Copies of this chain bind each other. A is one copy, B any other.
Amino acid sequence: MTESNDHLIDWLRDAYAMEQQAETMLTAMSERIEHYPDIRARISEHIRETRRQADMLRGCIERRGGDVSTIKNMAARAMAAAQGLGGMFASDEIVKGAMASYTFEHMEIASYRCLIAAADEVGDVETSRVCAEILREEQAMAEWVFEHLPEVTRAFLARSETAGAEAKV
């Protein structure tokens, strides 16, 4: 199971880097939001979850004998993918920001779904449990965003029709 163990730790590192990227992007986004207090509040809540998730992942990595100090090299691909969505996160349209965060949540959901299968395969019960817990939080956040996309779209369009309402975020 050497190869499978190596893949599992690589993927845990990818996930750790992904959560760090998530914290950076969500923090920047929430600081720019002026006119959508509900979204800002939900993002703030999810930033707290994201920090805790990163801690939990670091615990899994360390329990498996790895560390996160070399993460920058290991997770370049996950970072590139995240940064590709950066343009949408930094958009002046709240609609694009909401879409980006919904998309990124699903990169996370896919990661944890695969990590659970990989952890089960090598018999790492604790990593499987941690990833299942994180998966549920990501799914809850994704569901919240999905439910709010139409309302955000309507609010954004209404503001754009209002003369003088420059700030769109």
How far is A91 from B145 in the complex, measured between Cα atoms in Å?
29
How far is A130 from B149 in the complex, measured between Cα atoms in Å?
18
CB<8 Å pairs between A and B, sample of 22: A4-B160, A4-B161, A77-B87, A77-B91, A80-B87, A81-B84, A81-B85, A84-B84, A84-B85, A98-B110, A99-B107, A102-B107, A103-B104, A103-B106, A110-B146, A110-B149, A113-B146, A116-B150, A117-B149, A118-B157, A121-B153, A121-B157
Contact between A114 and B150, CB atoms less than 8 A apart: yes
Q: In A66-86, which residues have CB < 8 Å from any B CB?
A: 77-78, 80-86
Contact between B153 and A114, CB atoms less than 8 A apart: yes
Contact between A149 and B113, CB atoms less than 8 A apart: yes
- Return the chain B residue nearest A1 by Cβ: B161
- CB neighbours (8 Å) of A154 from chain B are 117, 121
Contact of A99 among B85, B100, B110 (CB under 8 A): B110
Contact of A102 among B83, B98, B110 (CB under 8 A): B110
| Nearest-Cβ distance from residue A91 to partner chain B, whole angstroms | 7
| Nearest-Cβ distance from residue A98 to partner chain B, whole angstroms | 7
